[in-house]
């Protein structure tokens, strides 16, 4: 039963995708994927997604630790706000971020006098991906931290451990497997993110054009096979990265046990 | 049981029109391009009144807007458009190529099935601080130009061809010099939106860029309604006669039985009331009498037609297809 559902919901659409590009022929698929513009878009999408997920490791970890270990007024509100990027329609996130970071926006206006552009440049893409990825990281780490008793940290402290030792020897090993899961989810979300990014990206070929936008552009040119080829390439790359992360997570868990 | 019958009767009474064919009203879906929202809202009201007066039937028209290429694809993918009113003929040709409407659609209505025209102009910030007067100003260093992506936007294709038309009319111009001009122009473009309305928003709301290349109607709308007094329209020394065409989608109207209403709708666009509405929405009317009345609003500037580029088929293949000139511009020197 489970297999039938997974088959229907996941495998069938993917099979349709895998079948599509080959009408171009092997040579055509390779040619359509090795155009400089396509390579630039793939590099940008995967590079930005990995970078944003990596920074989210730190930011999400900090947010999770603060939410679990400290008590401050408005903590519940802050806890609820973390889920906002999940719930907002991506276009709304994109427009809100663009309004904020455009050269005439609150934050973009502060950077503009220094000749820095955030919206319509790569930093804008990075910020959008950071925004959509954060809740995955926080929600992956939070329960693990919650289950790690605070006394463990206190015990380490009474035994003479420095703050740094507590973080690297006690907390990090415990949350590492969960952090890898959070990283994988934040990355997966970011690499396929479309709605929020296209508003802030600038969408210039070779510079700020993400791979999902290139798929849409190919569709609008009625180049279905070319779009499917690019989608397939993204799927394969994502699969490889996620499989590697899965392996890493298992190793860490075994090490912990 | 009795309660159930009452409930059923109540539900039937509330049921929408499709369940009750006796009071049927005709419905039409007009799939259009990006900046025609205001135009067709006004046209639809006027047509509904005229149609009811003439035939006694009520008609409700829905319109859908988006980048012209994306809209054409939606129709190809099964969006049941009774009529398409798109930015460029090549988008309707793409639908005709799949057999959804007759290949000779352009000959079925007057003026190549384009009831009104427009042209491409430059919109600058009030007072024209960067002194943008004509096409060559757009390639000056330090000028930021906003125009949408010609791969997805019909308006952007007209923009691109208008700029190219100017470059090709310069003394000693060659295909290489035209391409070089476009390369320099797009090097000054910081954002490529997917549709004309998106580009207008980037220029008007986000404050990006010194000049927006736009449909005349879109530029006038921005100047008069989006930010009165904040923008000036600059007419270049040469532009292109932009002809957004209209057509009935045969396969859809025959299936839905809506051909009569759909054809009446498109014929209505050529009548004086509709031409007047078009003029008020800053489209250049075809009707000479209406055009004369609004002559002051539409400066006569030299324009080339799409024939300058050998028609849409050739222009599309040479410039906007994969590996065409537009792709080459971005492949080189970046």
* C-alpha dihedral sign at A96, A99, A105, A108: positive
pTM beyond 0.90, yes or no: no
Q: A98: phi > 0 → left, psi -120 to 50 → alpha, else beta; which?
A: alpha
Contact B330 A219 (CB under 8 A): no
Series of mean pLDDT values for 10-residue runs along chain B (334 residues): 50 45 73 92 96 92 90 92 94 93 95 96 95 96 94 91 96 94 95 88 91 94 84 96 96 94 96 96 96 94 94 92 89 58
Residues of A in Cβ contact (< 8 Å) with B207: 102-104
Instruction: Please check whether residue A137 is in contact with residue A61, taking contact to mean a CB–CB distance below 8 angstroms.
Output: yes
> In chain A, which residues touch B (CB < 8 A)?
36-37, 98-99, 102-105, 117, 119-120, 198, 202-207, 209, 216-217, 219-223, 226
Instruction: Please check whether residue A182 is in contact with residue A141, taking contact to mean a CB–CB distance below 8 angstroms.
Output: yes
Enter the tokens of residue B160. Answer: 């691109």
> In chain B, which residues touch A (CB < 8 A)?
67, 69-70, 73, 76, 94, 149, 151-152, 189-194, 206-208, 320-322, 327, 330-331, 334
Considering only the beta carbons, identify the residue of B70, B322, B334 that sits closest to A220. Answer: B70
Domains (ranges, CATH) in chain A? 2-256 (1.10.3720.10)
From the CA of A143, how many Å to the nearest CA of chain B? Answer: 41
Contact B190 A204 (CB under 8 A): yes
Contact A204 B206 (CB under 8 A): no
Substitution target in A24, A94, A97, A205 with the highest count of B β-carbons within 10 Å is A205
**Nearest Cα residue in chain A from B192:** A203
Q: Are strands B239-242 and B116-125 parallel, antiparallel or unpaired?
A: antiparallel
Domains (ranges, CATH) in chain B? 2-114+243-270 (3.40.190.10), 117-242+302-331 (3.40.190.10)
Q: How many CB pairs under 8 A join A and B?
A: 64
Q: Are strands B246-248 and B83-85 parallel, antiparallel or unpaired?
A: antiparallel
**Nearest Cα residue in chain B from A220:** B70
Each residue of A110-131: pLDDT tens digit?
A: 988 888 889 999 999 999 999 9
Q: What is the mean pLDDT of residues A198-205?
A: 90
From the CA of B73, how many Å to the nearest CA of chain A? Answer: 6
Residues of B in Cβ contact (< 8 Å) with A102: 206-208
Higher-pLDDT residue of B21, A171:
A171
Each residue of B108-119: pLDDT tens digit?
A: 999 999 999 999
Interhelix angle for A211-220 vs A36-69, to 10°? Answer: 130
């Amino acid at each position: 039963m489970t297999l039938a559902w997974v088959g229907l919901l996941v495998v069938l659409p993917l099979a349709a995708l895998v079948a599509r590009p080959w009408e171009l022929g092997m040579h055509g698929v390779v040619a359509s994927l090795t155009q400089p513009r396509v390579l630039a878009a793939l590099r940008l999408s995967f590079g930005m997604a990995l970078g944003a997920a990596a920074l989210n490791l730190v930011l999400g970890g900090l947010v999770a630790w603060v939410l679990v270990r400290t008590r401050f007024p408005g903590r519940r509100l802050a806890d609820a706000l973390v889920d906002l990027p999940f719930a907002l329609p991506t276009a709304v996130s994109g427009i809100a971020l663009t309004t904020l970071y455009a050269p005439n926006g609150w934050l973009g206006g502060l950077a503009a006098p220094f000749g820095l552009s955030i919206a319509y440049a790569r930093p804008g893409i990075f910020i959008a991906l950071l925004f959509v990825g954060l809740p995955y990281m926080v929600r992956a780490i939070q329960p693990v931290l919650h289950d790690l008793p605070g006394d463990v940290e206190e015990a380490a402290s009474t035994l003479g451990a420095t703050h740094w030792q507590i973080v690297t020897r006690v907390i990090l090993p415990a949350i590492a497997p969960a952090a890898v899961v959070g990283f994988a989810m934040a990355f997966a979300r970011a690499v396929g993110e479309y709605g929020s990014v296209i508003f802030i990206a600038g969408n210039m070929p070779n510079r700020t054009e993400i791979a999902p936008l290139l798929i849409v552009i190919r569709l609008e040119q009625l180049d279905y096979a070319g779009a499917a080829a690019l989608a397939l390439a993204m799927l394969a790359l994502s699969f490889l990265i996620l499989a590697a992360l899965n392996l890493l997570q298992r190793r860490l868990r075994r090490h912990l046990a | 049981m009795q309660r159930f019958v009452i409930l059923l009767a109540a539900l039937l009474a509330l049921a929408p029109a499709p369940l009750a064919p006796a009071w049927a009203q005709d419905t039409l879906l007009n799939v259009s391009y990006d900046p025609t929202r205001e135009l067709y809202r006004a046209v639809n009201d006027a047509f509904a009144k005229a149609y009811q007066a003439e035939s006694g039937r009520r008609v409700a028209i829905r319109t859908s807007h988006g980048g012209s290429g994306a809209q054409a694809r939606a129709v190809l993918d099964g969006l049941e458009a009774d009529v398409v009113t798109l930015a460029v003929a090549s988008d309707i040709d793409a639908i005709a190529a799949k057999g959804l409407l007759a290949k000779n659609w352009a000959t079925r209505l007057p003026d190549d099935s384009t009831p009104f025209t427009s042209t491409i102009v430059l919109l600058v910030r009030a007072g024209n601080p960067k002194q943008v007067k004509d096409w060559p100003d757009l390639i000056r260093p330090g000028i930021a130009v906003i125009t949408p992506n010609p791969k997805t936007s019909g308006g952007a294709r007209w923009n691109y061809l208008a700029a190219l038309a100017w470059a090709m009319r310069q003394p000693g111009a060659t295909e290489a010099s035209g391409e070089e001009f476009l390369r320099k122009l797009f090097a000054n473009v910081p954002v490529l939106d997917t549709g004309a309305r998106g580009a207008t928003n980037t220029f008007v709301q986000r404050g990006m860029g010194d000049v927006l290349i736009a449909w005349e109607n879109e530029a006038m709308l921005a100047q008069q309604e989006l930010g009165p007094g904040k923008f000036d329209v600059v007419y270049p020394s040469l532009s292109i006669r932009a002809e957004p065409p209209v057509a009935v989608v045969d396969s859809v109207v025959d299936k839905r039985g809506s051909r009569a209403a759909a054809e009446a709708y498109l014929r209505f666009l050529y009548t004086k009331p509709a031409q007047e509405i078009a003029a008020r929405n800053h489209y250049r009317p075809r009707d000479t009498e209406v055009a004369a009345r609004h002559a002051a609003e539409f400066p006569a500037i030299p324009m080339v037609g799409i024939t300058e580029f050998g028609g849409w088929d050739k222009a599309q293949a040479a410039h906007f297809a994969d590996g065409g000139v537009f792709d080459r511009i971005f492949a080189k020197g970046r």
